[in-house]
Structure 1
């Protein structure tokens, strides 16, 4: 269970009555969707950033963009539980926008200020471009 997203954080994205109707006031469904969203985000962010620190943050320590996209992905998953055939266009658009942003960040096309970066060695190992060679062999005897 993640403590990254608080229930009151959703007030800026969806009316509480609508969210309660979607999850039928079962908070465990919301927690499952939050965990799925964070796991999805970790897949994209872990190549560059320390995800343990990012998602352990609370209150004002949380990065606002990461929080916004985590809520958008969570709400998309919540709407999929309710009726996947009738998801509102805005939820689909915001989910797709979240994935575009995450892909851009993971490909080093988008820079995100304020997130805890991995150390240089880990970043090099996770990079899409790596140059390696075998150690030089001594052929003289």
Structure 2
């Protein structure tokens, strides 16, 4: 069982519409699900994405699962939008991406944090690098 199965997508797209779009070939929907997981994973840099997407059943975060389905439905409907309200799909896709972007910079208590990548040889060193400079000065005589 994968993180998201084709049968679970019926909450977002009717089964008969999925059959019409895919012509009975499950590969199109599986590709859309894979694309969605890849896209969502890109927004989860501060979280343990391997652990998140290894979850099954009730272990999955319901909000994240909802947004993964929205992204997958958007990618799937790009093949052909027969029987699908493309405007609603686009709004739900945009909402999912907005939530993922907002979640990049704040702590979501329901998602596992990324493992600590500090170097064992240099405990005071951090994986993040901060840099900057003083503001520019203009001197006049």
Band the TM-score falls in, shorter-chain normalisation = 0.7 to 0.9
Q: Which runs of 4+ in 1 moved over 4 A?
A: none
Q: Alignment partner of 2:78: what SS?
A: helix
TM-score normalized by structure 1? 0.77
From 122, 125, 128, the equivalent of 2:127 is 125
Return 5+ residue gaps in structure 1 as ranges: 134-141
Counterpart in the other structure of 1:49: 47
Counterpart in the other structure of 1:25: 24
Return 5+ residue gaps in structure 2 as ranges: 119-125, 133-141
Distance 2:28 2:11 in 1: 20
Counterpart in the other structure of 2:68: 70
User: Size of the alignment, in residue pairs?
Assistant: 124
Give yes or no for contact 1:79–1:87 (8 Å, CA) kept in 2: no
Q: Per residue, is there more helix in 1 or in 2?
A: 1
Give yes or no for contact 2:6–2:30 (8 Å, CA) kept in 1: no
What is the root-mean-square deviation of aligned Cα atoms in Å? 2.4
